[in-house]
Amino acid sequence: AKYLLRRRPSNMCTFYVALAYTRPGGSKEKRKTQLVSAACNPQFDRQFALPCTQEDAPESELHFKVKETVPVGKPHVIGHCAVQIAALLEMGSGGHEIWRELQQPVALAADTDSKRPPGRILLSLSYKQQKKLLTLGIVEGKDLRVKETDSYVYFRASIMAREQTVKAKKSPLIKENLASPLVQQEFRFHLAPNLTDQVYLFVLICARSRLGANRLLGKA
């Protein structure tokens, strides 16, 4: 979460996210993250596996509430939102989109321009359970740390399990507007439903110079 409006001093803030999965008929399944203390930008880093059929998706929703704990009484609700399950299952008609800040590669730590953020990318994600198909879309990039000598940028998407690459795919070379490219690239991976909570997605953004050397710009 980013830029939460806390009610207590930053060194005393503790947040968590409460998740309610609403199914047809009004039944609910609830989950919540661990307590995190990190000023106004907590990282919860938690995954939940929730069963959902294609038939239930149009009438199912995920409700998120970010809460701040208090010494006495009930936690305060900082903010909330709802996401329809059907939108997550169909990328072309509203798959879940999210901006991700890129992590700076270790190799750039000593760069004189290292104080400049490595940029961010807009991702889209959906999973079709019946077809066992996971679709990752890379929509666009913003403020990538390219150099004047760079000729192309490209993206590499991988499914990872226990720090090992299970499957990997690479985008075509992008030659225009390298700092903020419009990518519009989909990567499709066949993935069994029972494996969705055992793997994670890893995206690398690279640049290629005019001399043919590849350079890592960031990862997400």
Q: Which CATH number fits domain 91-220: 3.30.56.10, 3.30.2290.10, 1.10.1740.10, 2.60.40.150?
A: 2.60.40.150
Confirm if 153 and 216 have CB atoms less than 8 A apart: no
Q: Where in the chain is the domain with CATH 2.60.40.150?
A: 1-89, 91-220
Low-confidence residues of the chain: pLDDT under 70: 2-3, 5-12, 38-40, 54, 86-95, 105-115
pLDDT at 74: 84
- pTM for the predicted model, two decimal places: 0.56
Confirm if 157 and 168 have CB atoms less than 8 A apart: yes
| Strand pairing class (182-190; 133-142) | antiparallel
CATH of domain 1-89: 2.60.40.150
Residue corresponding to tokens 């991976």? 189
Length of the chain: 220
pLDDT digits (tens, 9 = 90+) for 78-136: 888 887 776 665 544 445 778 888 887 665 555 545 567 788 898 888 887 778 888 88
For 85-108, the DSSP string reads HHHHH-GGGT-EEEEEEPBPPGGG
